[in-house]
């Protein structure tokens, strides 16, 4: 990856250098400023764009055709059109410019394409492998479903109680637009602290969506969960944010839903859906 | 007023230009064939439902240095064991080839290895003869040829079988050969680049454009029935592969190219061996031209058109090079000068740049071959390796004519191994 990065930088600088040299050539050799060369430099420019967006071999082929076409033209001029004073710095150098442009830009394009595929692949991998929410340190949705399934099986088999809690911050997007991301993130952290104080360490904590937390409480029944809910309500209601000298009481509304596992289903998605429905009764 | 010298010069200029144009077209065709090939996934060979019986023929004359590894590689080929037989023709070897072969045979008693040892009467007459002997022992529906220095990749036989069974028009299917000892010397590096380019441009490009391919002498599969119908290999041919290709086309079949069937081979490491090998190729090609064009027209078809065309191409190229060289020398000696006023160095520059570009494109199709080292080798190749070919052509033609005049039999020279 590091090596590719270095190569990208090198080819990027080379591509700039290439056009710098071309421009300098025109400055030092004012004879070059004519319609024919304008056409050729435009072709070079479009070749660069094409080479960058296609792949290396195709870019080289394009330059191959250009070299052949231009070579044939000057050959024709030399033989039939009475143009006797062809010279490297005025005419032939284009024969080199085309392949070099094609190679540098083609290579640069290939390298960048390679990097972006790597990034896409890595993102894909991260999505499937990561089980932790970045901001809160709680587990994420994937982990929630995995754990829920295990806990449901365990509860069923050993006839344990199992309860899940869901906390949803209402109008979260509005809050973000009013307070900004930084402040809402701070609030999130405060919520996490408070939640940690209320829940036992063996309870499992998740951040399901940006505005939704869920907790799996093994060996707990509905009554126990109601007590937890009350404490949570109390704690979360009194969150105040200290910024500098100011203590700010933010108006967060949230709903808490409780669902006890009744051992009728094994489907985690169904369970979650029913848990969501419980939020509607928290008025 | 244009002089004769001027006209000759213009002729060679135009001839070279036309050849350059044709090469651009060929290399583009080769590239589109490459894209077609790459679109085929490995699934195609997993989909083979029935495996025909295949006989591998390996002609071996004094091959003690390479034969063991080659046979081991062939035993590793991914193909049902009971459908595969390996026939090694131990052709009058005077070294340990026979000993190594019988050791291998006893080491793998469950594998179908046949050793055919020739004697003073029927052996020692070259590769074509050895292959004919092998053919008479073969039980398979298809014949596969590997030279004694070839180590085919595990899947390569499957690809060959897949391709030849995919169309009744295919009389034979050739695979791709690569250079195993490419790092041995500068010469083998040249050969590596040459063979890759040859296969993508000349084989791949011509296959794509005209459905024409020539057998490379190794790593190919051919229908046994067809071989028997056309009477096997021509023992007089020095390039028995080219000669056989022509008869396959004359019979109305095609030879297809399957680049995914890869076999690694050893290339000459010294200039002396290289010169001998290539001179034999040149002589072999003249033999083919003589047999099919100059002596009598034995049938007609696209391959004959191709032969005439290739001959014309070579003639065009050689005459252009020779004429321009002569003009150059005459100019130096002040005998006659081109009176055209233009600056003609551009054709040379054009040829050189196109050469470098085309070679690099061909290398880009092979993973890991497009690198700075090879780039410089290509730049060098134009002035060295390519010029050696002129020597090879000249000696080949001279030697062929000498043999014909003196009514000598062409001695079959076996490439030395390293």
Q: Tell me the C-alpha distance between B99 and B60, whole Å.
A: 13
According to the model, what pLDDT value does residue B72 have? 92
Question: What is the tens place of the pLDDT at every residue in A207-229?
Answer: 988 889 999 998 888 888 889 88
A82, pLDDT greater than 70: no
Question: What is the tens place of the pLDDT at every residue in A121-151?
Answer: 999 998 888 888 888 889 988 899 999 999 9
Q: State ipTM.
A: 0.80
- Domain membership of residue B63 (yes or no) is yes
Neighbouring C-beta atoms of residue A142, cutoff 10 Å: 14
Question: What is the tens place of the pLDDT at every residue in A245-281?
Answer: 677 776 678 889 999 998 888 889 999 999 988 888 8
Residue with tokens 């026979």: B98
According to the model, what pLDDT value does residue A175 have? 81
Contact A71 B354 (CB under 8 A): yes
**Which 3 state secondary structure label does DSSP give B217?**
coil
Question: What is the tens place of the pLDDT at every residue in A28-75?
Answer: 988 888 898 999 999 999 999 999 999 899 999 999 999 999 988 888
Count: domains in chain B: 1
According to the model, what pLDDT value does residue B346 have? 76
String of b and e for B255-286 (b: at least 16 CB within 10 Å)? Answer: bbbbbbbbbbbbbbbeeebbbbbbbbbbbbbb
Contact A96 B353 (CB under 8 A): yes
Q: Tell me the C-alpha distance between B389 and A195, whole Å.
A: 83
- Domain membership of residue B399 (yes or no) is no
Pairing verdict, β B170-179 and B220-223: antiparallel
- Domain membership of residue B248 (yes or no) is yes
- Domain membership of residue B208 (yes or no) is yes
Q: Is A180 left (phi over 0), alpha (psi -120 to 50) or beta?
A: left
> For residue B285, which of B242, B253, B247, B252 has the smallest C-alpha distance?
B242
Output the six-digit token pair for B197: 């380019």
Q: Tell me the C-alpha distance between A191 and A248, whole Å.
A: 15
| Residue of A64, A75, A83 with shortest CB distance to B354 | A64
Nearest-CA distance B157 → chain A (Å)? 29
Q: Tell me the C-alpha distance between B418 and B190, whole Å.
A: 17
| Residue of A61, A77, A95 with shortest CB distance to B28 | A61
Domain enclosing residue B140, as ranges: 40-268
Q: Is B276 left (phi over 0), alpha (psi -120 to 50) or beta?
A: alpha
Chain A residue with minimum CA distance to B34: A57
- Domain membership of residue B46 (yes or no) is yes
CATH 3.30.70.270 intervals, chain A: 141-280
Residue with tokens 């020739």: B118
Chain A residue with minimum CA distance to B361: A57
According to the model, what pLDDT value does residue B384 have? 87
- Domain membership of residue B243 (yes or no) is yes
pLDDT string in tens for chain B (418-residue length):
667 888 888 888 888 888 888 888 999 999 999 999 888 877 777 777 788 999 999 999 888 889 999 999 999 998 988 899 999 999 888 888 889 999 999 999 889 899 998 887 887 788 889 999 999 999 999 999 999 999 999 999 999 999 998 889 999 999 999 999 989 889 999 999 999 999 998 899 989 988 888 898 899 999 999 999 998 998 888 888 888 998 898 888 999 999 999 999 999 999 999 998 898 888 888 888 888 877 666 666 777 777 778 778 777 877 887 787 788 788 778 777 776 666 667 777 888 888 899 999 889 888 888 888 899 999 999 888 888 888 888 888 888 888 888 877 666 667 777 7
Which CATH code is given to the segment(s) A141-280?
Answer: 3.30.70.270
Q: The domain that contains B198 carries what CATH number?
A: 3.90.550.10
According to the model, what pLDDT value does residue A40 have? 93
DSSP state of A51: H
- Domain membership of residue B130 (yes or no) is yes
Write out chain A residues lying below 8 Å of B344, CB-based.
Answer: 78
Q: Tell me the C-alpha distance between A129 and A140, whole Å.
A: 11
The band of A169, judged by pLDDT with boundaries at 50, 70 and 90, is confident
- Domain membership of residue B331 (yes or no) is no
Nearest-CA distance B49 → chain A (Å)? 35
**What is the distance of C-alpha B34 from the center of its chain?**
18
């Amino acid at each position: 990856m590091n090596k590719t990065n270095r190569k990208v930088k090198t080819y990027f600088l080379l591509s700039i250098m290439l056009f710098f040299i071309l421009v300098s050539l025109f400055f030092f050799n004012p004879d070059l400023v004519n319609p024919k060369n304008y056409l050729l430099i435009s072709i070079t420019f479009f070749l660069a764009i094409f080479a960058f967006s296609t792949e290396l071999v195709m870019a080289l082929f394009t330059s191959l055709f250009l070299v052949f076409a231009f070579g044939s033209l000057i050959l024709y001029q030399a033989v039939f059109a009475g143009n006797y004073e062809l010279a490297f710095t005025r005419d032939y150098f284009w024969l080199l410019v085309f392949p070099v442009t094609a190679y540098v830009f083609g290579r640069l394009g290939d390298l960048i394409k390679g990097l972006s595929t790597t990034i896409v692949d890595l993102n894909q991998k991260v999505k499937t492998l990561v089980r932790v929410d970045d901001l809160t340190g709680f587990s994420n949705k994937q982990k929630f479903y995995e754990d829920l399934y295990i806990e449901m099986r365990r509860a069923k088999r050993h006839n344990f109680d199992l309860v899940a809690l869901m906390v949803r911050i209402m109008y979260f997007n509005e809050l973000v637009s009013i307070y900004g991301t930084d402040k809402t993130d701070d609030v999130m952290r405060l919520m996490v602290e408070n939640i940690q104080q209320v829940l036992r360490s063996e309870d499992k904590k998740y951040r399901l969506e940006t505005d939704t937390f869920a907790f799996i409480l093994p060996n707990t029944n509905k009554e126990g969960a109601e007590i937890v809910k009350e404490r949570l309500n109390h704690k979360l209601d009194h969150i105040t944010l200290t910024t500098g000298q100011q203590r700010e009481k933010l108006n967060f509304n949230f709903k808490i839903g409780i669902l006890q596992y009744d051992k009728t289903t094994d489907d985690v998605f169904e369970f979650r859906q029913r848990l969501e429905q419980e939020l509607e009764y928290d008025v | 007023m244009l002089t004769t010298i001027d006209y000759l010069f213009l002729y060679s200029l135009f001839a070279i230009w036309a050849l350059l144009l044709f090469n651009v077209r060929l290399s583009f065709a080769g590239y589109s064939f490459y894209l077609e090939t790459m679109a085929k996934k490995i699934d195609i060979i997993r989909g083979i439902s029935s495996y025909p019986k295949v006989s591998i023929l390996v002609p071996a004359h004094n091959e003690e240095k390479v034969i063991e590894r080659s046979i081991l590689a062939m035993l590793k080929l991914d193909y049902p064991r009971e459908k595969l037989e390996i026939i090694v023709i131990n052709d009058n070897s005077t070294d340990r080839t026979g000993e190594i072969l019988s050791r291998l045979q006893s080491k793998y008693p469950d594998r179908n290895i046949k050793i055919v040892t020739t004697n003073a009467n029927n052996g020692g007459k070259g590769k074509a003869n050895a292959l004919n002997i092998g053919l008479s022992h073969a039980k398979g529906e298809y014949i596969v040829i590997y030279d004694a220095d070839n180590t085919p990749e595990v899947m390569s036989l499957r690809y060959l079988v897949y391709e030849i069974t995919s169309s009744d028009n295919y009389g034979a299917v050739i695979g791709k050969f690569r250079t195993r000892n490419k790092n041995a010397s500068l010469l083998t590096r040249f050969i590596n680049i040459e063979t890759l380019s040859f296969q993508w441009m000349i084989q791949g490009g011509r296959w794509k454009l005209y459905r024409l391919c020539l057998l490379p002498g190794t790593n190919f599969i051919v229908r046994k029935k067809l071989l028997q119908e056309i009477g096997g290999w021509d023992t007089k041919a020095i390039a028995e592969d080219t000669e056989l290709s022509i008869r396959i086309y004359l019979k109305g079949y095609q030879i297809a190219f399957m680049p995914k069937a890869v076999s690694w081979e050893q290339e000459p490491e010294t200039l002396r061996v290289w010169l001998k090998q290539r001179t034999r190729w040149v002589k072999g090609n003249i033999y083919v031209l003589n047999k099919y064009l100059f002596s009598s027209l034995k049938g007609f078809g696209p391959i004959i058109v191709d032969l005439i065309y290739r001959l014309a191409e070579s003639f065009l190229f050689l005459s252009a090079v020779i004429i321009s060289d002569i003009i150059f020398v005459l100019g130096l000696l002040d005998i006659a000068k081109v009176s055209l006023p233009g600056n003609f160095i551009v054709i040379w520059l054009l040829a050189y740049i196109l050469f470098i570009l085309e070679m690099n494109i061909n290398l880009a199709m092979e993973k890991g071959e497009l690198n700075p080292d090879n780039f410089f080798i290509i730049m060098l190749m134009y002035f060295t390796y390519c010029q050696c070919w002129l020597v090879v052509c000249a000696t080949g033609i001279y030697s062929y004519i000498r043999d014909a005049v003196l009514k000598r039999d062409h001695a079959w020279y076996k490439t030395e191994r390293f």
